[in-house]
């Protein structure tokens, strides 16, 4: 009972201080920074004016700083979902709420989801209250080789979009092969030709200057339009990661070869058979974004799927990040990590797979707890990877977020049906 009470008190306190930059110290707490530095346990984290000011066992707490007792609790960085449709998909089966798919004419490398990100999406708060503070929102991968450009989001605050045109997304799968003739070989050839063409395109554009407007693509059967080539050119000009959905070992190897030929900053998403080529991935320093709970041989691209894929990849030295395939449930990230641990992955690596690694893949300066950085953290009432613990409080850029969401409000509305009846919104 006292536990419940203290949680309630905390929630109330949290609600009252929501939206104000907090000067706060959490004492006697287990802090997992997701960086190389291991802190002695328990430690203290001091936050002032929105930034982490001090970390460690001997932090001196200045006056006028609110003190929270973190005994038995855990602090981590906010969780980062590296591949979602948060903000561009509300209700999957309602087309008018779906902005993740480009049309027949808009699809391709230049399809840019940044213009449709919905600040009022209920998915933001529902995932945020459970500790997911950042997400990479990407176009849905349809039948095309390239799906388009994604954005980096912070799920709280006034400016949702941290960075537009964050990465280019695509696929080398049986499905994307269908779109270029049917064979997986065609997708590889298509990619190779595209990046070779890109070289020519950029040379021509450089010669002609910024006013280069000549219609492009007459000499290649499957070339892209000028705006698509400009989008592809970002890979060269800004080092944009090229995130390709690839599951089968053979195509992963083909993509690695292609990446080496063209010096492409490739990231493999899916990687169901990644474990088979783990040493090649590690040698090429190519990170992977995987769902460690998807061990199903649901298609011929992924007959080699297995539950310990994450552990095997990590063991081989591959940078591993986790993704939940359903944007409504990015909050399952920590369950994914917990299962990866149950299947042999190192606990710290599993935590990094939902914090620092996804942030690093996209060059977002989040996912770690670091002195001098804006304070974005989650206070958990136990092991954050455990299904019996939960986020007691979430701070983004130094501000406690409101702990309520549309779903907690629905709960309150119906938790006591007797009271509800009086207000007339339950079954009569």
Binding site for another protein (CB under 8 A): 4, 7-8, 90-94, 122-123, 293-300, 303-306, 326, 328-329, 331-332, 335, 338-339, 341-342, 385-390, 407-408, 410-411, 414-415, 417, 426-427
Cα atoms found within 13 Å of the Cα of residue 50, Cβ hemisphere only: 10
Phi then psi for 250, rounded to 5 degrees? -60, -45
Closer to another protein by CB, 35 or 335: give it: 335
Closer to another protein by CB, 252 or 361: give it: 252
Rounded Cα–Cα distance for residues 17 and 403 (Å): 11
CB of 97 to another protein, least distance (A): 9
CB of 363 to another protein, least distance (A): 30
Q: Residue 265 contacts by C-beta under 8 Å, 6 or more apart in sequence?
A: 235, 239, 240, 241, 242, 259
CB of 254 to another protein, least distance (A): 21
Quote the DSSP letter at residue 354. T
CB of 91 to another protein, least distance (A): 6
Where b means 16+ CB within 10 Å and e means fewer, 191-224 reads beebbebbeebbeebeeeeeeeeeebbeeeeebb
Query: Among residues 256, 259, 257, 198, which one has the least CA distance to residue 223?
Result: 198
CB of 245 to another protein, least distance (A): 17
CA distances 333 to 15, 161, 199, Å, are 25, 21, 39
Closer to another protein by CB, 4 or 36: give it: 4
CB of 155 to another protein, least distance (A): 16
Rounded Cα–Cα distance for residues 272 and 305 (Å): 5
Closer to another protein by CB, 336 or 357: give it: 336
CB count in 10 Å sphere of residue 167: 24
Closer to another protein by CB, 197 or 301: give it: 301
Closer to another protein by CB, 185 or 410: give it: 410
């Amino acid at each position: 009972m006292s536990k419940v009470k203290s949680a309630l008190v905390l929630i109330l306190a949290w609600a009252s201080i929501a939206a104000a930059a907090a000067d706060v110290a959490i004492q006697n707490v287990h802090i997992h920074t997701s960086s190389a530095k291991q802190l002695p346990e328990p430690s203290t984290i001091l936050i002032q004016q929105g930034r982490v000011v001090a970390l460690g066992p001997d932090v001196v707490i200045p006056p006028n700083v609110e003190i929270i007792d973190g005994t038995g609790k855990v602090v981590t960085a906010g969780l980062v979902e590296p591949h979602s449709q948060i903000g561009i998909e509300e209700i999957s089966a309602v087309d008018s709420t779906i902005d993740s798919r480009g049309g027949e004419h808009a699809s391709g490398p230049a399809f840019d989801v940044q213009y449709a990100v919905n600040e009022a999406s209920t998915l933001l708060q529902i995932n945020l209250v459970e500790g997911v503070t950042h997400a990479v929102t990407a176009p849905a991968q349809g039948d095309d080789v390239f799906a388009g450009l994604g954005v980096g989001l912070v799920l709280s605050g006034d400016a949702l979009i941290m960075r537009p045109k964050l990465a280019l997304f695509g696929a080398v799968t049986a499905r994307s092969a269908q779109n270029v003739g049917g064979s997986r070989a065609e997708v590889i050839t298509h990619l190779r030709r595209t990046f070779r063409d890109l070289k020519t395109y950029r040379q021509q554009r450089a010669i002609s200057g910024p006013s280069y407007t000549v219609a492009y693509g007459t000499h290649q059967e499957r070339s892209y339009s000028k705006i698509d080539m400009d989008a592809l050119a970002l890979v060269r000009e800004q080092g944009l990661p090229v995130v390709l959905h690839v599951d089968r070992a053979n195509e992963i190897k083909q993509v690695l070869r292609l990446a080496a030929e063209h010096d492409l900053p490739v990231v493999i998403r899916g990687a169901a058979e990644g474990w088979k080529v783990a040493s090649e991935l590690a040698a090429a320093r190519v990170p992977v974004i995987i769902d460690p709970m998807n061990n199903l041989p649901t298609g011929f691209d992924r007959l080699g799927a297995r539950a310990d894929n994450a552990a095997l990849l990590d063991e081989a030295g591959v940078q591993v990040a986790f993704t939940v395939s359903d944007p409504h449930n990015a909050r399952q990230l920590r369950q994914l990590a917990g299962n990866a641990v149950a299947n042999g992955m190192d606990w710290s690596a599993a935590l990094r797979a939902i914090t620092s690694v996804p942030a690093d893949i996209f060059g977002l300066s989040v996912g770690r707890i670091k002195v001098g950085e804006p304070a974005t953290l989650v206070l958990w009432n136990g092991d954050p990877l455990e299904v019996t613990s939960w986020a007691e409080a979430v701070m983004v850029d130094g501000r406690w977020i409101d702990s309520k969401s549309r779903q907690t409000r629905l709960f309150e509305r119906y938790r006591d049906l007797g009271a509800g009846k009086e207000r007339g919104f339950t079954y009569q």
